[in-house]
Amino acid sequence: MENQYISEQEQIRRDALKELENLGINPYPAAEYPVNTTAAQILEGYDPEKENFDQVTLAGRIMSRRIMGAASFMVIQDHSGRIQIYLKRDDICPGEDKTLYNTVFKKLLDIGDIVGVKGFAFITKTGELSVHAQELVLLGKSLRVLPIVKEKEGQVYDAFTDPEQRYRMRYVDLIVNPHVKDTFVKRTQMVNVMRDFFNRYGYLEVETPILQPIPGGANARPFITHHNALDIPLYMRIANELYLKKLIVGGFPGVYEFSKDFRNEGMDRTHNPEFTVLEIYVAYKDYFWMMDFTEKLTEKVAMELHGTTQVPFGDKIIDWKRPYKRLSMINAIKQYAGVDIVDMEEDELRKTCRKLNVPVTPSMGKGRLIDAIFGQYCEKHLIQPTFITDYPKATSPLSKKHRDDPRLTERFELFVNGKELANAYSELNDPIDQLERFREQIRLKEKGDDEAMFIDMDFIRALEFGMPPTAGMGIGIDRLCMLMTNSSSIQDVLFFPQMRPE
């Protein structure tokens, strides 16, 4: 973004930059700075009786300064936290040359500058653990003014809290709101716990294409691009399901992938057009096994991140201790909407939606109508982890018919806090049935449903070679992270959420 306006304060910093260069000080040195400790290590490990940390080298960003003549204080922040630095002119500028201190530190350094400090830890007269600086080096000059939080008489001023600015300038958000970093550290820990869980079962982590000739594996509107060399349209993947099932056909007993998926749909507190999904497929298993597996996984994530299964979210406590409640979709709609939809055809479902004041459109087929009733009447009641099971066939084009009721499928979704978190099936491995389900999706697309699936004939060919009975599950990593970090918006768990350009 071109900088068309420079504020008075920013111009002062640019003038200071030139003056530093005139003094022969490189404001952006290239040489390695030999950091040997962090603020947190000093704060947690210093023992005044042992007088340890007597030769420390640390680096960080200046967050505050107090200039007091020949001795001054500043607070620097590194990746681990903040620590006070004590600067005495005669220590950092020995001899007669006081230029560094009088000109550089007092006039040319600013809050936000990155500096290196060598010295020793000690306790000040006021009892604060600090580092007595014996060397101060400028490592990076800041030309922008940080929105530093100020407090007076218990009131907070100038806090960097505007969501749009925080998401747009995440780099500033991370500097001035250190708690934000904790969310993303927990996100990485969460993924590592999941990856370790799968690896202990012996399942293989794989990678599948992001650019696909056919967007398969989900009902969603894709992003479309064009490959110049092949002169063909390509789609950003909406799911990686079909590719992973091809690997099961190829003989792998279990495969999983943390995938970036892309859906050209609306944006809100739980939806971003680019998002992360974990999908896993295991041969010779069914959806009952996968429910047990999913319970074990999510319970383990909660325990590893929090040391308890009871995790706060807003004004609620979500208890991830298994087993989770199980309720069929048909019975959920009976319980919360008061209707039995199991034998209803499309026309009757449409009339039922009107009676229930559920908005419908002409393009909505039987499956979308059922989903609409469920979404409006049932989801809001599913606060604690709940498996909704046995979906009608019309809602589940990739799921195997129920072994006891051919009107239903062997599918479950895990709902938490009123939102879908995971989706899983006993995977459909009958190629003839699968082709007919795809053809039904095409009929829906012809009616105007732009989220209906395409026919993937290569996937049908793979099934014709034979796929073993398989259980598959996809879980939204962003939504799971929201629940595990008490974050009310998906933008809070994405480093760089999608935003309209400035």
Specify the pLDDT at position 450.
Answer: 72
| Res 1 pLDDT > 70 | no
Phi, psi of 303, rounded to the nearest 5 degrees: -65, -40
Tokens standing for residue 113: 């500058």
Dump pLDDT digits (tens) for 232-290.
Answer: 999 999 999 999 999 999 999 999 999 999 999 888 888 999 999 999 999 999 999 99
Burial, 363: exposed, middle or buried (Cβ in 10 Å; 0-12, 13-18, 19+)? middle
Of the pLDDT bands very low, low, confident and very high (cuts 50, 70, 90), residue 29 is very high
Specify the pLDDT at position 384.
Answer: 98
Above pLDDT 70, what percent of the chain? 95
42 torsion bin: left (phi>0), alpha (psi -120 to 50), beta (else): alpha
Cα 405 to Cα 343, 349, 408, 476, distances in angstroms: 12, 20, 6, 29
Segments making up each domain of the chain, as ranges: 8-146, 180-324+384-493
Dump pLDDT digits (tens) for 180-203.
Answer: 999 999 999 999 999 999 999 999
Of the pLDDT bands very low, low, confident and very high (cuts 50, 70, 90), residue 455 is confident
| Res 3 pLDDT > 60 | no
Q: How many CB atoms are closer than 10 A to CB 448?
A: 11
Of the pLDDT bands very low, low, confident and very high (cuts 50, 70, 90), residue 486 is very high
Specify the pLDDT at position 365.
Answer: 86
| Res 153 pLDDT > 60 | no
Spatial contact of 239 and 261, defined as CB atoms under 8 Å apart: yes
The superfamily CATH assigns to domain 180-324+384-493 is Bira Bifunctional Protein; Domain 2 (3.30.930.10)
Residues whose CB falls within 8 Å of the CB of residue 90, separated by 6 or more in sequence, listed in order? 70
| Rounded-to-integer distance, Cα 482 and Cα 187, Å | 9
Q: Half-sphere exposure of residue 104, counting CA atoms within 13 Å on the CB side?
A: 23
Spatial contact of 408 and 388, defined as CB atoms under 8 Å apart: no
Q: In 298-352, at which residue ranges do the beta strands (DSSP E only) sit?
A: 310-313, 316-319, 325-328
Of the pLDDT bands very low, low, confident and very high (cuts 50, 70, 90), residue 392 is confident
Over the chain, what is the mean pLDDT? 92
| Rounded-to-integer distance, Cα 307 and Cα 291, Å | 23
| Res 157 pLDDT > 60 | no
Residues pairing with 56 in the sheet:
119
For 8-146, CATH gives 2.40.50.140
Residue that has been written with the tokens 């973004």 in this structure = 1
Tokens standing for residue 342: 């199991």
Specify the pLDDT at position 397.
Answer: 83
Spatial contact of 39 and 76, defined as CB atoms under 8 Å apart: yes
Specify the pLDDT at position 105.
Answer: 79
| Rounded-to-integer distance, Cα 111 and Cα 350, Å | 63
| Rounded-to-integer distance, Cα 161 and Cα 275, Å | 24
Spatial contact of 242 and 217, defined as CB atoms under 8 Å apart: yes
DSSP codes, 436-448: HHHHHHHHHHHTT
| Res 93 pLDDT > 80 | no
Q: Which amino acid is at 464?
A: E
Q: Please, where are the H alpha helices in 7-67?
A: 8-22, 39-45
| Rounded-to-integer distance, Cα 231 and Cα 473, Å | 34
| Rounded-to-integer distance, Cα 483 and Cα 187, Å | 11
Continuous segment of H or E residues that includes residue 343? none
| Rounded-to-integer distance, Cα 433 and Cα 346, Å | 21
